[in-house]
Structure 1
Amino acid sequence: MKLTTSDSIPASYEQMQDKELVRLFRKKDDQLAFRELMNRHQSKIYSYIFSMIQNREVANDIFQETFTKVITKMDDTYNEQGKWIAWVMRIAHNATIDHIRKQKRFVDVSSSYDKESKTDFYDRLPDEDSPSQQEKLELDESTSSLLKHISNLPEEQRTVVMLRHYYEMPFKEIAEMTGVSINTALGRMRYALINLRKMFDEEREKESSNV
Structure 2
Amino acid sequence: MKTTLNALSDQELIHLYQGGDESGLKELIDRYKSKIYTFIYTKVRDEFLAEDIFQETFIKVINTIKTGGYNEEGKFLPWVLRIAYNMIIDHFRKEKRLPNVVSSDGFDIFEVLRFAEDDAEKKMVRSQISADLQKIIQLLPDDQKEVLIMRHFCDMSFKEIADITNVSINTALGRMRYALSNLRRLIEEHNISFQLY
Which position in structure 2 is the counterpart of 1:105?
97
1:48/1:162 contact within 8 Å kept: no
User: For each residue in 1:38-57, what CA deviation from the matched residue of structure 2 results, as whole angstroms up to 9, or x when unmatched?
Assistant: 11101111111111101111
Cα displacement (A) at 1:10? 1.8
Which position in structure 2 is the counterpart of 1:61?
52
Cα displacement (A) at 1:104? 2.6
Cα displacement (A) at 1:149? 5.2
- TM (normalized to structure 1)? 0.52
Counterparts of 1:16-31 in structure 2, within 5 Å, are 16-27=8-19, 29-31=20-22
- For 2:103 and 2:72, the matched residues in 1 are separated by 33
Cα displacement (A) at 1:163? 3.7
- For 1:60 and 1:69, the matched residues in 2 are separated by 14
- Greater Cα offset, 98-107 or 40-49: 98-107
2:57/2:83 contact within 8 Å kept: yes
- For 1:101 and 1:31, the matched residues in 2 are separated by 33
Structure 1 residue runs of 4+, over 4 Å off? 107-110, 146-150, 152-158
User: For each residue in 1:13-68, what CA deviation from the matched residue of structure 2 results, as whole angstroms up to 9, or x when unmatched?
Assistant: 011111111111112x2111111101110111111111110111111100000001
1:78/1:87 contact within 8 Å kept: no
2:11/2:73 contact within 8 Å kept: no
Which position in structure 2 is the counterpart of 1:40?
31
What letter matches 2:40 in structure 1? I
Identity %: 35
More helix by share: 1
Cα displacement (A) at 1:81? 2.7
What is the DSSP-based 3-state SS (H/G/I as helix, E as strand, rest coil) of the residue aligned with 1:164?
helix
Pairing partner for 1:164 from 135, 141, 151: 151
Counterparts of 1:99-178 in structure 2, within 5 Å, are 99-106=91-98, 146=112, 148=114, 163-165=150-152, 166-167=155-156
Distance 1:35-1:108 versus aligned 2 partners, 3 A rule: closer
- TM (normalized to structure 2)? 0.55
What is the DSSP-based 3-state SS (H/G/I as helix, E as strand, rest coil) of the residue aligned with 2:97?
coil
What is the DSSP-based 3-state SS (H/G/I as helix, E as strand, rest coil) of the residue aligned with 1:104?
coil
Distance 1:100-1:67 versus aligned 2 partners, 3 A rule: same
User: For each residue in 1:56-88, what CA deviation from the matched residue of structure 2 results, as whole angstroms up to 9, or x when unmatched?
Assistant: 111110000000111111133210535111211
> In the comparison of the two structures, how many residue pairs are matched?
139
User: For each residue in 1:88-114, what CA deviation from the matched residue of structure 2 results, as whole angstroms up to 9, or x when unmatched?
Assistant: 11111100111122223337598xxxx
2:57/2:84 contact within 8 Å kept: yes
Gaps of 5+ in 1: 1-8, 111-134, 140-145, 174-181, 188-193, 202-211
1:10 counterpart = 2:2: yes
What is the DSSP-based 3-state SS (H/G/I as helix, E as strand, rest coil) of the residue aligned with 2:73?
coil
- For 2:86 and 2:104, the matched residues in 1 are separated by 18
2:78/2:150 contact within 8 Å kept: no
